[in-house]
Amino acid sequence: MADAITPRTTDYAQWYLDVIKAAKMADYSPVRGCMVIRPNGYALWENMQREMDRMFKETGHENAYFPLFIPQSFLAKEAEHVDGFAKECAVVTHSRLKVTEDGLIPDPESKLDENLIVRPTSETIIWNQYRDWIQSHRDLPILINQWANVVRWEMRTRLFLRTMEFLWQEGHTAHATAEEAIEETERMLDVYATFAEEFMAIPVVRGLKTPSERFAGAVETYCIEAMMQDGKALQAGTSHFLGQNFAKAFDVQFQTKDNTLEYVWATSWGTSTRMIGALIMTHSDDKGLVLPPRLAPTQAVIVPIYRTDEERVAVLERANDLAAALKAAGLRVKVDAREAFRPGWKFAEYEAQGVPLRLALGPRDVANGTVELARRDTGEKSSVSQDGLPETCAALLETIQASLFQTALDRREALTTVVDDYDTFKRLLDEKGGFFAMHWDGTAETEARVKEETKATIRCIPLGQAEEDGIDPVSGQPSKGRVLYAKAY
């Protein structure tokens, strides 16, 4: 199975697609730019969704659902927002089809009075609803999250990373003060960063986007940026302080404690199945997918090995007993008792699918009270006692989780360069890629020049860094601090 995976050093883009195919995570669909998420991929998304949903609810948020279709006039109400999404919108113009001699056509008599936009994001339709829900300061804050699909008409697509339709969550909150909204924006950025680091085992940089990279209609966009194995960055989540822009566009005002009217302050924040792409490119290898144990749909698989029917009965019985003990300890375990496949084929399959632990159990193991334990991340094998196996596996899974994070962190540090010379920046960008901490004069002109000349963008202005006077090596103008440049997905 590993033979079907192109080595990373040969063709990284093809390697990525090969890993997805070998792990049976997703396929391209008959609709250009869309994907079919297979059970292995969807089970991973469910685990990610479950953990994030828990974290959202622990911070006081509730789930709701809003329509897929948005009146076109809603998007036009916020100028920056419509400008940012106009070229990506799918538009519904008719309500039914008609059979003609030439085939099916939109029925001319069913043309809609107003076009509907297939949801690219939900700020507009949600804030139209908030106008009815908010009258007084007593109605605030509203803390709502939605799990949904969205459509953005992308021309160049790649599984999980960029597709026309994708799954995501989008939080939309309303507050009485700017301070509360900013606090919410930063809180949700921390939730995303915690999830990425503690569950996905991906170290991230927290930062602010530059004005040219902000979400359309936002006052500030916060982000988490991750570094992939090929030296390219990937935006793994964003949290936006929207100010009063959408409240003013949809006339959402509330009566304050002082009996005055004021516009509501807003945030929105989101992550998507794009994070699966980040996980694949951070941890996987030339043998296939590597999954962090805390998110792996199957954390351990037991592969029975036998030759005779008598051995089969004894091995399967013991395998099921061990699986029951592991499940009782809270581990996600399966026994692969399929007769049609040899153990070696199963080993290769689970290696390609990224299952963190593989347990091989044969007649000799049953007799000796042992089991062969293999780690997916390092390939290390060891014979361990069946006594205390749940504790052994649980501890090893935590070790793997920590090891994956540390490996990714070490890689990111090795791919982060402080640079003060533009020529050096361009040379190293081509030679090894990665993050480049370089002074920026704060102008859009310099940012655009770097992008045009190198295809690198300012990924973020890192949060919490000390102010540092310097010179922008591109423009020669004074700078108050460094930003992170990188080529990105």
Same domain? For 316 and 269 the reply is no
* Residue that terminates a domain, selected from 334, 365, 396: 396
For residue 433, the model assigns a pLDDT of 98
Dihedral over Cα of 86, 87, 89, 93: its sign: positive
Percent of the chain's residues with pLDDT above 90: 95
Cα angle value 157/121/148 (rounded, 5°): 85
The letter for the amino acid at 120 is P
Domain assignment present for residue 76? The answer is no
Residue environment code for 172-184, b if the CB has 16+ CB neighbours within 10 A, otherwise e:
bbbbbeeebbbeb
Same domain? For 127 and 275 the reply is yes
Reply yes or no on whether the pLDDT at 82 is more than 90: no
Reply yes or no on whether the pLDDT at 79 is more than 80: no
Same domain? For 314 and 268 the reply is no
* Residue that terminates a domain, selected from 333, 362, 396: 396
Same domain? For 185 and 42 the reply is yes
Same domain? For 61 and 147 the reply is yes
Domain assignment present for residue 470? The answer is yes
Confidence of residue 438 (pLDDT cuts 50, 70, 90): very high
CATH code (residue 372): 3.40.50.800
Same domain? For 205 and 241 the reply is yes
Interval 232-239 mean pLDDT = 98
Domain assignment present for residue 304? The answer is yes
Read out DSSP for 444-484?
Answer: HHHHHHHHHHHS-EEEEEETTPPP--EE-TTT--EESSEEE
Interval 4-28 mean pLDDT = 97
CATH code (residue 423): 3.30.110.30
| 3 state DSSP class of 57 | helix
Same domain? For 244 and 331 the reply is no
Interval 98-114 mean pLDDT = 95
pLDDT digits (tens, 9 = 90+) for 135-190: 999 999 999 999 999 999 988 889 999 999 999 999 999 999 999 999 999 999 99
Domain assignment present for residue 38? The answer is yes
Eight-class DSSP state of 457: E
Placement of tokens 């009217």 in the chain: 261
Cα–Cα distance for residue pair 105/94, rounded to 1 Å: 10
Give me the domain span that covers residue 440: 416-486
Dihedral over Cα of 36, 40, 46, 51: its sign: negative
Cα–Cα distance for residue pair 291/45, rounded to 1 Å: 12
For residue 3, the model assigns a pLDDT of 59
For residue 318, the model assigns a pLDDT of 98
Cα–Cα distance for residue pair 207/464, rounded to 1 Å: 8
Placement of tokens 């059970």 in the chain: 39
For residue 81, the model assigns a pLDDT of 84
Same domain? For 320 and 219 the reply is no
- Please give the mean pLDDT across all residues of the chain: 96
Copy the structure tokens of residue 140. 């605030």
Domain assignment present for residue 408? The answer is no
Domain assignment present for residue 435? The answer is yes
Reply yes or no on whether the pLDDT at 2 is more than 80: no
**Cβ-contact 207, 186 below 8 angstroms:** no
Same domain? For 250 and 180 the reply is yes
Distances in whole angstroms, Cα of residue 338 to Cα of each of 161, 343, 361, 477: 34, 9, 14, 67
Interval 371-397 mean pLDDT = 98
Domain assignment present for residue 162? The answer is yes
Burial of 292 (0-12, 13-18, 19+ CB in 10 A): buried
Domain assignment present for residue 233? The answer is yes
Same domain? For 61 and 198 the reply is yes
Reply yes or no on whether the pLDDT at 206 is more than 80: yes
Reply yes or no on whether the pLDDT at 84 is more than 90: no
Reply yes or no on whether the pLDDT at 281 is more than 70: yes
Reply yes or no on whether the pLDDT at 1 is more than 60: no
Q: In total, how many domains does the chain have? A: 3
Cα–Cα distance for residue pair 273/44, rounded to 1 Å: 10
| 3 state DSSP class of 165 | strand
Same domain? For 420 and 477 the reply is yes
Same domain? For 329 and 463 the reply is no
pLDDT digits (tens, 9 = 90+) for 40-72: 999 999 999 999 999 999 999 999 999 999 999
pLDDT digits (tens, 9 = 90+) for 219-234: 999 999 999 999 999 9
For residue 80, the model assigns a pLDDT of 83
Determine which of 1-5, 278-282, 400-404 has the lowest per-residue pLDDT on average: 1-5
Distances in whole angstroms, Cα of residue 349 to Cα of each of 7, 345, 353: 17, 6, 6
For residue 156, the model assigns a pLDDT of 86
Copy the structure tokens of residue 191. 């939730």
Confidence of residue 275 (pLDDT cuts 50, 70, 90): very high
Name the pTM for this structure.
Answer: 0.95
Determine which of 47-61, 80-94, 254-268, 296-310 has the lowest per-residue pLDDT on average: 80-94
Interval 285-297 mean pLDDT = 98
